[in-house]
């Protein structure tokens, strides 16, 4: 089982505001806040976002070495839709609006979006 996921952001303050809205919707709450890192607990895994050592570095690019995306599981299509609305208001970049992906499974319903550092996120009803 995955215990925690640690990401880095070029702008920790802005990332914290974005992730607060998203993770609250997914049942998390912030337990740690300082100038170097913020953390959320609730569902597993624990989520941590660290301030990047060099905020001038280019954002992550999908399909470059490193993480491809992070997927959060929910229990209904309505929850996927709600997270989509939250992500829009929190200024995540929407990559794919909520829809079914029958090539993955008969019930696979997901939304895909990207944070301000280019990290792709998914919320899915598998």
pLDDT of residue 117: 96
> What's the pTM?
0.94
pLDDT of residue 1: 85
Q: For the chain, give every domain's residue range.
A: 4-52+69-125
State yes or no: pLDDT of 44 exceeds 90: no
State yes or no: pLDDT of 43 exceeds 90: no
Q: Which homologous superfamily does the CATH classification assign to the domain defined by 4-52+69-125?
A: 2,3-Dihydroxybiphenyl 1,2-Dioxygenase, domain 1 (3.10.180.10)
| Residue 30: band (very low, low, confident or very high) from pLDDT cuts 50, 70, 90 | very high
Nearest CA to 60 out of 7, 122, 4 is that of 7
Q: Per residue in 52-104, pLDDT tens?
A: 999 999 999 999 999 999 999 999 999 999 999 999 999 999 999 999 999 99
Q: What does the pLDDT average to over 2-17?
A: 96
Q: In angstroms, what CA-CA distances link 64 with 56, 59, 70, 118?
A: 18, 11, 15, 11
Q: Per residue in 101-121, pLDDT tens?
A: 999 999 999 999 999 999 999
């Amino acid at each position: 089982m995955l215990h925690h996921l640690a990401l880095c952001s070029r702008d920790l303050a802005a990332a914290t505001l974005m992730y607060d809205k998203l993770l609250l919707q997914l049942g998390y709450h912030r337990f740690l806040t300082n100038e170097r890192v913020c953390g959320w607990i609730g569902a597993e895994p624990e989520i941590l976002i660290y301030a990047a050592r060099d905020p001038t570095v280019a954002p992550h690019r999908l399909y470059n070495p490193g993480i491809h995306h992070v997927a959060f599981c929910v229990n209904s299509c309505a929850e996927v839709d709600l997270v989509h609305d939250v992500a829009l208001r929190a200024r995540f970049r929407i990559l794919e609006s909520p829809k079914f992906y029958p090539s993955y499974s008969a019930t696979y319903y997901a939304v895909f979006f990207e944070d301000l550092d280019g990290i792709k996120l998914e919320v899915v009803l598998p």
